[in-house]
């Protein structure tokens, strides 16, 4: 559990603030994360990494010379938003383009892809590389579906060293891709982890047992078995990686970068005991470890567990793996003369309160647009609905988190609370300033995505923005326009998330809601009555997801574990439309 927490909702931001204050000689704080203090040379490639908070020293501890130029960090176990990623990238880009690298999780893929599209539109060349090293999360024939865990360290190190040497973006991307292709990881856990402010761990492991193949976001293991002694555990980890060798049949003399990683509660001396056994197996097999790293490198709060990563090196990758680096949590070799970090002068390090006034800190779309009286009246209804939805999601935060913890990372309730609260605040501000319904929805969507991050944040942001674009800021939207807007939002969410109805996602409530709304309208119901009937339909559809096995998103890795539990995304969607439809009952604008 986390012992030092103020407000759990502010934990990630406050941790990043403290990191920048403690390590100001290496990094400085920007909206969305941290960047290296010493600027890149003009024309250099900026390597930007990122993911959820809760994994330190990944990602912020790996920012510095010879490593990443910046790290975008989302909420705990949630991907950063596209706005946060863009903010970090803009702060470090120096004319050579940006390489984004991150773990292969749905939220990260969505948000980094959106950030890449935004920057491309601004004329900034970008390449994205999801890390796919976790052998337990998909078979070798489906490596593109594998998760990224501690092997990402090797990918980031090689990419950062190549950029430091002056390689162009295409070459940095090629080398980073080659590293990812040659890296394999496997992990085990002896206990779960507990999110800041939570009372229970995301999962538990019975005494004397261990979970094999768990993720670094608190996801339970692929299988559970009796705990092993140190030598036997080393054999299990090494054997799993050797069987996946990317260079074909084993040959003595192979040179491999090894990373033995502690996930938070297994301490260094224990890791050294385990590495002793790993090294003995390497010697027996004729494998040569090159600059092995042993320690806490990609953690999961207080999870008791370890992972082993191996990257089969060629001459270029070995040189870059061994190249000098200087970051808060990773030091290697000696940097060139003149590269030494200096302590910032008094007052130079700033924290978030001073950062949020920068242009990048305001979500895109947060501006007042001229509208007519009909659209302004509709905008007030939208704002009131979002306020009620935010209250409903806040009340359901713990139950949504419990649903998510069954086969995911338990952060859904926190993310929905943060995202909906930001959306409601933005909607209220824009509606009060005279914006129309379309602009209020667009601004609310941008605020939701930025505050929540993760897959749900990205999808809710996209859906609200698409609905807003359909409604526009002219005239009071009629029932048919509302139904059209919902159809467009659903299509956009499905396309971006890569899911279909039946995959056990938010779509399993959204699409039935949209169909039921349109059917009720065709039958002659007014919009209020149709919305109420459709919301009831969405709630029933969300409950039906309990019988489904997920086929998309992070939960697909633990499909059978989620049978019997409704999908949190579907449940939260049903809560939103139910609460939003009760605006008239509360005496709000109708």
Could you confirm whether 217 is annotated as catalytic?
yes
Q: Would you state the structure tokens that stand for residue 564, as one six-digit string?
A: 């019997």
Q: Would you state the structure tokens that stand for residue 451, as one six-digit string?
A: 């505050």
Question: Could you identify the residue written with the tokens 């040959």?
Answer: 251
List phi, psi (to 5°) of 339: -95, -5
- Contact (CB, 8 A) for 449 and 348: no
Residues in the chain: 590
- Contact (CB, 8 A) for 424 and 440: no
User: What is the crossing angle of helices 169-181 and 315-322, to 10°?
Assistant: 100
DSSP 145: G
Rounded Cα distance, 169 and 305, in Å: 36
Strand-pairing partners, residue 307, are 187, 261
Say which of 31, 217, 412, 558 is annotated catalytic. Answer: 217
DSSP string, 410-424: S-HHHHHHHHHHHHH
Rounded Cα distance, 392 and 416, in Å: 10
In the chain, DSSP finds a helix count (H) and a strand count (E) of 18, 15
Rounded Cα distance, 158 and 164, in Å: 10
Rounded Cα distance, 557 and 550, in Å: 8
- Contact (CB, 8 A) for 302 and 265: yes
Rounded Cα distance, 344 and 557, in Å: 45
Strand-pairing partners, residue 184, are 310
Query: Which residues does the annotation mark as catalytic?
Result: 217
């Amino acid at each position: 559990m986390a012992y030092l927490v103020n407000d759990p909702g502010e934990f990630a931001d406050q941790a990043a603030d403290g990191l920048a204050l403690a390590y100001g000689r290496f990094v400085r704080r920007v909206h969305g994360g941290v960047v290296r203090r010493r600027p890149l040379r003009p024309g250099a490639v900026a390597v930007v990494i990122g993911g959820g908070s809760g994994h330190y020293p990944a990602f912020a501890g790996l920012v510095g010379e010879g490593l990443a130029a910046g790290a975008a960090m989302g909420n705990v176990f949630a991907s950063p938003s596209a706005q946060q990623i863009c903010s970090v990238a803009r702060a470090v880009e120096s004319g050579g383009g940006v390489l984004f690298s991150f773990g292969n999780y749905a939220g990260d893929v969505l948000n980094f892809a959106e950030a890449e599209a935004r920057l491309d539109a601004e004329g900034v060349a970008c390449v994205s590389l999801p890390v796919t090293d976790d052998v337990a999360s998909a078979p070798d024939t489906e490596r593109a579906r594998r998760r990224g865990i501690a092997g990402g360290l090797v990918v980031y190190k090689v990419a950062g060293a190549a950029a430091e040497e002056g390689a162009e973006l295409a070459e940095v991307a090629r080398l980073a891709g080659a590293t990812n292709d040659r890296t394999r990881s496997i992990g085990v856990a002896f206990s779960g982890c507990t999110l800041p402010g939570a009372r229970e761990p995301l999962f538990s492991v019975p005494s004397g047992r261990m979970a094999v193949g768990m993720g670094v976001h608190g996801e339970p293991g692929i299988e559970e078995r009796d705990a092993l002694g140190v030598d036997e555990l080393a054999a299990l980890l090494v054997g799993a990686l050797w069987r996946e060798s990317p260079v074909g049949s084993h040959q003595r003399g192979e040179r491999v970068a090894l990373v033995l990683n502690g996930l938070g509660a297994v301490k260094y001396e224990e890791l050294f005991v385990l590495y002793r056994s790993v090294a003995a197996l390497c010697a027996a097999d004729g494998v040569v470890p090159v600059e092995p790293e042993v320690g806490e490198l990609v953690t999961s709060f207080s999870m008791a567990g370890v992972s082993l990563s191996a990257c089969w090196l060629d001459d270029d990758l070995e040189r870059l793996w061994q190249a000098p680096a200087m970051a808060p949590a990773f030091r290697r070799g000696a940097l060139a003369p003149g590269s030494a970090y200096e302590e910032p002068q008094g007052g130079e390090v700033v924290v978030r309160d001073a950062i949020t006034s920068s242009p990048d800190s305001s979500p895109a779309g947060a501006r007042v647009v001229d509208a007519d009286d009909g659209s302004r009246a509709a905008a007030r209804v939208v704002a009131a609905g979002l306020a009620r939805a935010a209250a409903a999601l806040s009340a359901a935060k713990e139950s949504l988190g419990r649903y998510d913890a069954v086969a995911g990372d338990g952060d859904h309730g926190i993310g929905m609370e943060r995202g909906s609260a930001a959306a409601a605040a933005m909607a209220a501000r824009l509606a009060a300033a005279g914006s129309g319904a379309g602009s209020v929805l667009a601004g609310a969507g941008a605020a939701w995505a930025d505050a929540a991050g993760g897959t749900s944040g990205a999808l809710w942001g996209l859906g609200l923005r698409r609905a807003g674009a359909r409604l526009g800021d002219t005239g009071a939207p009629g029932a048919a326009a509302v139904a059209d807007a919902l159809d467009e939002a659903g299509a956009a969410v499905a396309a971006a998330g890569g899911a279909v109805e039946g995959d056990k996602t938010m779509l399993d409530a959204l699409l039935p809601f949209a169909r039921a709304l349109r059917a009720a309208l065709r039958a002659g119901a007014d919009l209020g009555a149709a919305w109420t009937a459709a919301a009831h339909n969405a709630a029933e559809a969300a409950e039906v997801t309990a019988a489904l096995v997920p086929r998309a998103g992070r939960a697909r890795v633990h499909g059978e574990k989620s049978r019997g539990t409704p999908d949190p995304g579907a449940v939260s969607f049903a809560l939103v439309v139910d609460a939003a439809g009760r605006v008239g009952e509360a005496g709000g604008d109708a």
